[in-house]
Every structure is written in structure tokens, then in C-alpha cells.
Amino acid sequence: MDVFSRDVLVVGGGGAGLRAAIAVAEANPRLSLAVISKVYPMRSHTVSAEGGAAAVIKPEDSFDEHAYDTISGGDWLCDQDAVEAFVKEAPAEMLQLEHWGCPWSRQPDGRIAVRSFGGMKVERTWFAADKIGFHMLHTLFQTSLKYDALQRYDECFVTRLLVDDGRCRGVVAIEVATGRIFAIAAKTVILATGGCGRVFPFTTNGAIKTGDGMALAYRAGAPLKDMEFVQYHPTGLPFTGILITEAARSEGGWLLNKDGYRYLQDYGLGKPEPKPVLRSMELGPRDRLSQAFVKEQEKGRTFEGPYGHYVHLDIRHLGEELIDRKLPFVRELCRKYVNLDPVKEMIPIQPVVHYMMGGIHTDIHGATPLPGLYAAGEVACVSINGANRLGSNSLTECLVFGARAGRAAAGFAAEQKESNPAVFAQASDEQKRLEESLLRKTDGKERIASLREEMQKTMEACAGIYRTGAALQQAAQDLHQLQERFHDLRLEDHSYTFNTELTGALELSFMLDVGEAIVASALARRESRGSHQRTDHPQRDNEKFLAHSLAYRTPEGLPRIDYLPVTITRWPPGQRVYGK
């Protein structure tokens, strides 16, 4: 088996991974550095982000305002030291991206333009029309090409972390194009593999967002934090789940039920005004908006379509000129995928799984409890998002904590000695496992797709917008059974060349682990907070649950839940007030 060795290995070529890699290259150009990614970096799902990225820039804004919006938006489950570091470093990171060429939208005098966003009290969301993730990712990728020290393993799928002597020492991966299995021994590994929306059936997330990094770390002994907090975005297109960005509402779009009524006013989100009001109505936080949809559906005030219930997002009154200038992608997507022009018609939308607040537990420098292992981006939980992320905070998070993890990992790597040969035995074990249990496996009767569908249905039924203990209990059992059935997988593809059935199987097994962690964490949290709403425990309970849940994998494979207190610096828990 081939073994390569690197000082720092970044797993993932999305916003967080590329930012981390550049930070390593700048912090210490002498380190050998590589980015490994299961798809070409510019295919990473960061590419699909539409709305914008938050950072304080206006004179009337302040770090404290941004911090407060973030903390109250996260229902006080954010670590406030992390949030403070985040808001302070955000503007410099965004400027850095500007210096690297990101085509941010501008004011007439050439300065950066900002827009409002849900749950934010001041306009502070930087944007590039409505393709901000795309521009960010390509800017980072193209800039990364200028660092010769940065080596890439494109389309290489990481299957396992190598751990020895209580430290992470590298990875095993498959080169998808040839089926070659190899190991990279690394002094530090930074996981930046993104989220896991594909655990659910209806999501804005691309096919590659299967929680790989979360499962990799979880299996290697690092805990997953706050996994019960799954964000539903209120405005997805039916069937495809394609996101209609929050920017459509921040520019002034309305949510209307089937009677043409702006129903959010019935859910404590303020009074309807013709112009958008910050932190009010359509600009409330995502958890509240998605929950209001369910209530509206229960009252029978939503439309019924072939792909479930929906309501309308109306942006017609914004006019064609503004839509083309600021929301061109929204128009493009609507025309293409629902065959209507939002300049003239209302857009059907429904809540859709969007983002994982939870992830691998890290400290404020991106370090996980497993020495040598760092994490950043959606895969990590630092935690600045608490129980509900505010739109446009996560792209900035990728930059701020990507850079922090990169610098910290570079520092750590410089102090380490060469890797320990004990890990090579582990690597060949992994190779054997992959070949025997998957590539050369000819028996079995379960199809990947059927197991995946069952898993997704289970997750939607129990871990959706509203949850109950009974349903979660049932789901835990069902997932366990799916884990058993996974061993009886039938694979039709035994080729070594670009075998996407093999990667599909590996992704499914990652998702099953992540699903179990989500369900166990949700079951253990007997309160309602942010995006986690238990109908059997409808109140927030600061006594018992002002704490992060930590899911550890037990030797039997099941999760064990522990808690860690939330760090509070200056903002004691209060009520979340919107629309006032």
C-alpha cells in the first residue's frame, strides 16, 4: 500500500477547508500541506450558498450587536467566547476575501454593499448578488492555486482516520478514479467535510453532504456536539428542495398562506409592514418561521400540492429591476425548476432541511479533544450557532474558524516528530476491510438506495421540526436495525474504476452513524430550544439543559450522551424577542 506523508492534511475542499489550507501555507510555508477532497474543490457544496456572509462593517453597527443577534438567535446555546472571537475576526476575513478578488456587490462609490438578513438587527450581510457561496468558493479555490506548497488529492475519498496512542496520525483514502487505496500519514488532520443534510429525504444539501467527517471523528473517539439541532430553512422549492435564499425576504418578500395572509403575524413575529423591518416578520429567525409553517398547516391554511403542503413567497412587488440586480439566481431557479417567473407569479415554498448546527466538538481554535485532529466549517461545532444558526453566519464561520484551525494546526504540526509506524498496520486493516466487505462482496440482498430511503424517512418522521420522545425512541430502534441490515448489503459494482456504488455504500454507513447520534441527542434533550422542539417537553429548561450535548460512540457502536456547560460571558439567558 502506498503511504504518503504530510505535516498538515486538510480533508475537504469547501470554504472551510480551502481557507484552512491557505492559512497553513501563510502561517508556515515550510510545512508540507495537502488538501484531500472527494470531489474537485469547486464542486463542494459551499458553491450553492446564495444569500451572503455576515460581518460588521457599517459605522452604526457593533460587534456586540452582532454577538447579541447571534446568541439570542441561537437561543443562548452559543459559547459566548467563541461568538465574541467570531464577530471580531469576521470583518478582516471578509476583507481578505475581497483582496483575493471576490466580486462582492458594491455601493456606487465603490465600497462594499451590505444587505439585511433574518434575525439580524443591522444590515451586515455581504453579498455578491445571490451567488455568494459560488463566488467565495471559486475565489478561494483560484487563490489556492497560487500556493505551490499546497498539494491536492482531488476525488479521493477518506474512509478512516488513523489513531494511535491517543492521537490522530493520518487517514486512509480511496482514489476514486482508480480504486487505489492509500494512506496519508499526517502530523495534524483538519476535517472540513461539511454537513449531513442528506440524512434527511428533503434537503437543500447536495448529494455529497453525507456527514462523512462527523462519522470519521465519531468513530475515532471524538464526540459530536449538539447534534439534535437541525435547521429547517423556511423557503425551499417543493420536490427538488432547491433553496430560495433568505435574501428574497430581506429584500422585502412576503410569506403568504392560502388566503393570501401574512401569517407570521399570528406567531409573535411582529406586525406586517409593507417594507421589511429587521428582526421582524419575514426577517425573523429560521426556526420560528419553519415552526409557524407547521402550525399553519395544522390549521389547514396551506396549499396542498403533489409534493406536500406549501405556502407562497411573494416578491412580485419588488419589481423586475431589483429582482434582476439583486436576486437573479432566484429568478433563474424559479424559471428553470418550477417553471414560473417570480416577477409575475408567487413562488411555492415549504420548509426544508438545510444546516447542521451540531458537529464535531472543537474549542475556539478548532481543536477537537483528539490531539492532532482539528475541525472547521459545518462539520464542526465551535459553537457559535447554538440551537439555531442565523442565516449568513455560516459562510463567515467557515472563514474565521477555517483560518483559526489552519493556524492552530500549523503550530501543532511544527512541534511534532515523524509519524509512528504503528499506524501502517491500521491502514492495511482498513484496506482489507474495504476490499473484503465491499469491493469483493458478492452475497447480500439489501440495496443501498432502499436502506438510504428508509433511513431518511425514519429521520424525517422523528427528528423533523416537531419531535416527541416516543417517535425518537422508535427511530433509535429502527436505525439500529438498519445498521444490522447494512451488513447484508448487495453491491453490483465490483470495478476498481470510479466505483460510485462503493462510495455510496461508505456514505450510507457514515449517515447511519450520524443519524443515530442525532436521534440519541434529541431523545436525551427533554426541553424545547431553538430548532429542537419537543411537543412532550414544550418549555425551555435552563436548569438542566443550558448545556451542550456530547455524543460519544460506545464500543458497541451506540451513542452515549454527556453534557458540557455553555460558556456565558456577558449575555445571561433571556427571552428571544422578535418583531418589537
Partner 1 sequence: MSAEAHYTRYHPQWYRRRVSVWWWLQSWRYTKFVLRELTSVFVAFFAVITLWQLRALVDGPQAYTQFVRGLKSSPLVAVHGVAFLFVLFHSISWFHLAPKAMVMRLRGKRVPDWVIVGLNYFAWLIASGTIAWLLLRG
Partner 2 sequence: MGSREKLPPTVTLAVTRYRPEEESEPTLQTYEAPYRKDWVVLDALNYIKDKVDGSLSFRWSCRMGVCGSCGMMVNGEPKLTCAAFLSDYLPGPIRVEPLQFFPIVRDLVVDMTDFLHKLKKVKPWVVREEERPLSEGEYRQTPEQLDIYKQFSMCINCMLCYAACPIYGLEPGFVGPAAIALAQRYNLDSRDIGAQERLDILSGKDGIWECTFVGECTKVCPKNVDPAGAIQQYKLTGAAHWFKSVLLPWGRK
Ligand X SMILES: Cc1cc2nc3c(=O)[nH]c(=O)nc-3n(C[C@H](O)[C@H](O)[C@H](O)COP(=O)(O)OP(=O)(O)OC[C@H]3O[C@@H](n4cnc5c(N)ncnc54)[C@H](O)[C@@H]3O)c2cc1C
Residue ranges in contact with ligand X by CB under 6 A: 11-17, 36-39, 41, 44-46, 48-53, 132-133, 157-158, 192-195, 204-205, 208-209, 212-213, 243, 245, 355, 377-379, 391-395, 398
Nearer to ligand X, 330 or 475 (CB): 330
In the complex, minimum distance from the CB of residue 22 to partner 2, in angstroms, rounded to a whole number: 11
| Minimum CB–partner distance for residue 390 and ligand X (Å) | 9
- Which of the listed partners (ligand X, partner 2, partner 1, none) does 180 bind, with a CB threshold of 5 to 8 Å by partner kind? partner 1
Give the range of 72-80, 178-186, 261-269, 562-570 binding partner 1 by CB under 8 A: 178-186
Q: What is the rounded CA–CA span in Å between residue 493 and residue 435?
A: 12
133 Rama sector, left if φ>0, alpha if ψ -120 to 50, beta otherwise: alpha
Q: Mapping DSSP to helix (H, G, I), strand (E, B) and coil, where does residue 513 land? A: helix
Cβ nearer to ligand X, comparing 51 with 285: 51
x-or-dash string of contact with partner 2, 232-271, rule CB under 8 A:
-------xx-xx----------------------------
Q: Which of 54, 566, 576 is nearest to 279 (CA)?
A: 576
Binders of partner 2 in range 289-318 (CB under 8 A): 306
Question: Which listed residue (30, 59, 60, 109) binds partner 2 by CB under 8 A?
Answer: 109
Minimum CB separation of residue 107 from partner 1 in Å reads: 15
- Three-state DSSP at 94 gives helix
We find the least distance from the C-beta atom of residue 179 to partner 1, in angstroms, to be 6
Per rule CB under 8 A, is residue 99 in the interface with partner 2? Answer: yes
Encode 57-118 in three state secondary structure.
CCCCCCHHHHHHHHHHHCCCCCCHHHHHHHHHHHHHHHHHHHHCCCCCCECCCCCECEECCC
The single residue among 6, 19, 66, 138 that binds partner 2, judged by CB under 8 A, is 138
Using the rule CB under 8 A, is 29 a contact of partner 2? no
Candidates 173-181, 213-221, 267-275, 388-396 — which segment interacts with partner 1 by CB under 8 A?
A: 173-181
40 is an interface residue for partner 2 by CB under 8 A: yes
When binding is defined by CB under 8 A, the residue of 107, 339, 442, 497 that contacts partner 1 is 497
Report the nearest approach of ligand X to the CB of residue 393 (Å). 6
The residue range among 105-113, 254-262, 473-481, 516-524 that interacts with partner 2, by the rule CB under 8 A, is: 105-113
Considering the rule CB under 8 A, would residue 92 count as an interface residue with partner 1?
A: no
Nearest to 194 by CA among 48, 45, 78, 51: 45
Q: Tell me which residues in 478-497 interact with partner 2 (CB under 8 A).
A: 491-493, 495-497
Enter the DSSP assignment of 186.
Answer: E
Q: What count of other Cβ atoms lies within 10 Å of the Cβ of residue 495? A: 12
d(CA 488, CA 495): 19
Q: According to the binding rule CB under 8 A, does residue 179 interact with partner 1?
A: yes
User: What are the angstrom distances between the C-alpha of 363 and each of 17, 68, 257, 496, 534?
Assistant: 17, 20, 43, 39, 28
> Cβ-count burial of 99 within 10 angstroms (0-12 exposed, 13-18 middle, 19+ buried)?
exposed
Q: How far is the CB of 11 from ligand X (least distance, A)?
A: 5
In the complex, minimum distance from the CB of residue 309 to partner 1, in angstroms, rounded to a whole number: 43
Q: How far apart are CB 17 and ligand X at their closest, in Å?
A: 6
Report the distance separating Cα 315 and Cα 252, nearest Å: 7
Q: Which is nearer to ligand X, 11 or 21 (CB)?
A: 11
- Cell numbers found for residue 75: 437561543
Q: How far is the CB of 373 from partner 1 (least distance, A)?
A: 29
Binding status of residue 440 toward partner 2 by CB under 8 A = no
Render the burial of 131-148: b for 16+ CB within 10 Å, e for the rest.
bbbbbbbbbbbebbeeee
Check residue 92 for interaction with partner 2 (CB under 8 A): yes
Cell of 90: 469576521
Q: Which three cell numbers stand for residue 351?
A: 420548509
Using only C-alpha atoms, what is the Rg of the chain?
A: 23
Q: With contacts defined by CB under 8 A, how many residues of the chain interact with partner 2?
A: 61
Angstrom distance (rounded) from CA 184 to CA 162: 9
Catalytic residue list: 233, 249
- 500-559 positions binding partner 2, by CB under 8 A: 500-501, 504
* CB-based contacts of 131-135 (< 8 A; 24+ apart in sequence): 131/50, 131/329, 132/49, 132/50, 132/51, 132/52, 132/53, 132/395, 133/15, 133/46, 133/47, 133/48, 133/49, 133/50, 133/395, 134/47, 134/48, 134/49, 135/102, 135/103, 135/104
The DSSP bridge pattern shows strands 150-154 and 33-37 to be: parallel
Antiparallel, parallel or unpaired: β 150-154 and 114-115: unpaired
DSSP state of 539: S
Binding mask 325-364 for partner 2 (x = CB under 8 A): -------xx--xx---------------------------
Contacting positions for partner 2 (CB under 8 A): 39-40, 42-45, 47-48, 92, 95-96, 98-101, 103-112, 131, 134-135, 138, 142-143, 145-146, 154, 177, 206-208, 239-240, 242-243, 306, 332-333, 336-337, 447-449, 491-493, 495-501, 504
Contacting positions for partner 1 (CB under 8 A): 175, 177-180, 496-497
